[in-house]
Amino acid sequence: MGSAVAQGQPKPDWSLVDMPSQSGRIFLVTGGTSGMGFEDAKALAAAGAQVVIAARNAQRGKEAIARIKQEVADARVEFEAVDLADLVSVQDLGKRLNSRLPRLDGLINNAAIMAPPQRGTSAQGFELQLATNYLGHFALTAHLLPLLRKSDSPRVVTLASIAAARGRINFDDLQSEQAYDPYSAYAQSKLAGLMFAFELHRRSTAHGWGVQSIAAHPGVAVTELIARGPGLDSEFGRNWAKDRERYHSAAQGALPTLYAATAHEAQAGAYYGPVGKDEKRGPLGLASVPAAAKDAEAAARLWSTTEQLTNVSFR
């Protein structure tokens, strides 16, 4: 498919002690106030990076920064408000960062919502999961491309999910207006993000942007995603709760992302995640790429469609 090329497996027991120094590097982490995004931000700060946490809730941002500074005394971490489901908010964040940052070395497209029971819509009227998990990150990456290109070795890490394997891009009903199934819509949004990561790699290579685009997924990690989505009292939530002791912690779930964002050995166009049973947990490795994510023609169509929906372009 010209993106996730065959290559050696990463060190399976890679951990934070293996992370190279990130001193002098600047990262943006979306959804960094909780869960894996918080773990990303904390680990990067501990490695010496300047970290911008971008999320909706300023109070939660303040609390996250305080927690990080309790554990990392000299942490350089700050908060920026953004609502990924509002393209105006995303554009405003891009403008603010372009005006004040000298460059951006790493962008971690992490924030997500999962399977709200009722179909919601974004500020621009798009289905809420597609808007938050994919469209907002697509637009943010486009707005930040000039900053990324000022870095010597910029990386964009986009979070996918094992749910992407169950997804399909329904171009005839992309916004789930004709029929809404919360889990199908989630799977579509995560497949779209994975296809975006591969297509960004292809286009960066073709146009000489110099941006390394890498995808990662956490397996199944214990975070707030279920509580804020289908709910802990839903059938999905109850089944998840029965098995949660067998899942990754948020810190463990963050390792594939941190590997993709920092390891010298990480390869552009690759997809990293745990490779145990059903890829729900286990040692780090190259994740299985769903057949739909290998379709470069569909990815190019999705890219073009997304440019029209978001009114942004990469240049």
Structure confidence by residue, pLDDT tens digits, 44-80: 999 999 999 999 999 999 999 999 999 999 999 999 9
How big is the chain by its Cα radius of gyration, in Å? 18
Query: What is d(CA 82, CA 53) in angstroms, rounded to the nearest whole number?
Result: 10
Domain count, the chain: 1
Query: 78 lies in which domain range?
Result: 19-308
Is residue 270 domain-resident? Answer: yes
Domain of 182: which CATH number?
Answer: 3.40.50.720
For residue 3, being part of any structural domain is answered with no
- Quick check: is 2 in a domain? no
Collect all residues with Cβ–Cβ distance below 8 Å to 117 and sequence separation of at least 6. 182, 230, 231, 234
The pLDDT tens digits of the residues spanning 164-190 come to 999 999 999 999 999 999 999 999 999
247 is catalytic: no
Query: What's the whole-model pTM score?
Result: 0.92
Report the alpha-carbon distance of residue 196 to residue 137 in Å, rounded: 10
**Confidence band (pLDDT; 50, 70, 90) for 92?**
very high
One of 134, 180, 183, 186 is an active-site residue; which one? 186
Distance, CA of 290 to CA of 102 (rounded, Å): 37
Confirm whether 44 is domain-assigned. yes
Handedness of CA 187, 303, 309, 148 (dihedral sign): positive
Helix, coil or strand: residue 78: strand
Taken in order 94, 95, 98, 99, the sign of the CA dihedral is negative
Q: 203, 209 in Cβ contact below 8 A?
A: yes
Residue 165 lies in a domain: yes
Write down the pLDDT at residue 21.
Answer: 98
- Terminal CA-CA length for the chain: 23
Contact, 84 vs 131, CB < 8 A? yes
pLDDT of 6 reads 39
Residue 313 lies in a domain: no
In a domain, 144, yes or no: yes
